Structure 1
Amino acid sequence: MTPSGDAVVKVYCLPVPKRVGGQPPTCNPLRIAEIMKLLMALDKLSQDCGFMDLIPRMWLAPVLGVLPGVGYPVDWWGLWMEYVEGISLENFLYRGIPRRLPLETIADMFNNRLNKTRIVKGAIFDLLTSQCDRHAQNLFLQEDGNLKLIDNESCLQHMWRNCGFDSVMVPTTQKQEIIRLANQYVNKLPTLTGQPQVPRFDADPQLLLDYRCYLPEGREQMGTEYPPPIDKCLRNIASMAPKEVAKFYGFPDVRVAANLHTRATDMITRGYEWAAKYGHPQNAEAKRYRFQPKCCSLHINRTHFACGHAWKPSFELPLGNPFTGREWDKDRPDPGTYVGGTFPEDGDVGGNVAEASASTQSGP
């Protein structure tokens, strides 16, 4: 089932605490069954759309054995997954053992060895499936520069109803803005002095996960130019009704399938950038950020990284509470300066088209 012949298995509902002295986890079998169906649907979607080089295979099969160190017998179904070689991007960048990797090693990986095709496909996958938890811990990096995306169940608003999508690989999202400007700045955290937070001025290597760096020369937008298998898949999803999408892939409910249908339709008819700006599922205004200039290479500046070319990001933030997505409710001035989800480069046209699209969203 896997190229290496190795796999890992996740068994739900074991009455065993994860930590010594902890409480055994609660279990909702119906909820667990929903999650398993969702992951199996994602596996079929990955095969159908040509993401199998990026997304680990998953399948259901029995597990018969004994839990090591505990002695608890297991005779139950488990979710089996392809064993992913490599390490998390979080570990590669920040937690090297016994010490952090040399800056030269990190720069070489990001400047010269990253698999550009997988970065573009990763950005497509994360927007298409409305991934809401794509950060450095859920990106696995391999020695040759290949990437794998793991822990993909926080998608299509199945669990996180208030999240449209949030990925370090997709512009307009909070996670990508954090790697650009720093967590404390984007989240508008208070300071001991009462002064506003200061953004970061160095370059996080994760900036090079921006798909725009790897488009054909001269192009600044992906538009509707997708790899052929993905193009075919998007058109197929868009041609079906949400109920048909749910049945074809095996999604646990039609609402989740409708979210996939809407996103695929936007991506194939209006283009990637339009879908990221105006499409649905959509983030709250306070969490909808503007496109920023891309940084596509790293330069070592003594003890940190700088962008390897001229780069002038904006330090503006949307108005509102970046945690709740609602209006600003703190006892200090809101450092935000613009209404989230507005994009000056599109003028009034983009917003008007978006409103018209929202009023005709597909139902079950």
Structure 2
Amino acid sequence: MIFWRLLPVAILCLIGMILQWHPELMQTIFGRADLMWVSLGAAMLLGMHLVVRSSGRGLQILISVATIVCATLILAALSMAFPFVSVEAPLTIATAVFAVLAALLTVPAALAEGKSESSDNPIGLQELALLACLSLLAFIAPLCYAHSAAAQEREKLVEALQSQRYQRARIFTQISLATTPDARVLGVSIEDLTDELDRQIRHLQDFLRESPKQPGAVAQIGERAIALMQLDRNDEALRLLLPAAQGGVPIAWDYCGLCYQRLGDWRRSLEFYEMSQQFWDGQQPSPQRTNAMQSAFRGIAFAHRNLEHASAAEAAYRVALELRPTAELHLLLARLYEEQQQSSLAIQHARHAAKLAPTEYGDQSQEIINQVKFSHFGCLAGVHEGS
């Protein structure tokens, strides 16, 4: 009888392994592997409980299984009542299927053990309540987890779009397609955004496949490097940029700093951004100099922040803001102050960011404000009194 008892877990694990071996299919349905295993795990919990309780109760367990199947299907049909559930989402459908499958896979064990044993112990109200809770858990728990994960991924998606990292942004659209295909990001539906990203990525790939007309020209090196960075091929971009950087091309220093930043090499990133800053610091005032200096100081600040040099990061961000205030810089400074638990300054700069660019940075700014209010109640009294 052990075979029948292990059947639900074995089948669900096999499904998970098959999906793991086909990442494109898994991502289409769930968006991420952890969401798949949470759905499978919740279904396994239901199946294991039913198998354990099936001894000598074949007919009664079959009735319970039928009840769970019907309840899960009804819950799936009524899931529009939950704001975090999209009925047509692949993950919602798969989660309901897993819950029903886990219940159905206990039928062989119930029948086999029901024939060999008999029991007059009926299924009571308490056990039915437990079965109902496990059935609900098998459906709702994965969707709650997916809702939280999707919200985090959309934040990363917005950041990727703002920095023109199209390949990275496309990865982050996948979980929204699997969980909330009707979601909107920056006023655009996730489906339309995905289609646009796919077109942009194809265009960049076609551009890179073309042979450059003047391989050594600085302008063409820059264009190809930008395309590579937008596709998150930063190592390739560095191989293209480093000879130009070593030849003293100022824009190459800035791009190298950005590539190393995205690769997580903060010291090398800082080195190249400082080279760019020192060069432009000696040039005559101009819009080009202002843009280059601001980019350099922003990169210097980000490197110092990740190297845990908070004071140096703050100073660099403030210089960049003095050159030209932008919503992005206010938001970055707000995040730095949030990390340092300087609540009033974090809220002040978050509000500036939201005021300058409400569409692009409004949600992120409000999130910082909410987080500060939640984490630092003691600091808020002074903030509210002064506002």
Q: TM-score, normalised by structure 2?
A: 0.23
Greater share of strand: 1
Computing the radius of gyration from Cα coordinates, the structure with the larger value is: 2
Normalising by structure 1, we get a TM-score of 0.24
From the two aligned structures, give the one with the greater helix fraction: 2
Higher relative contact order (CA 8 A, sep 6+): 1
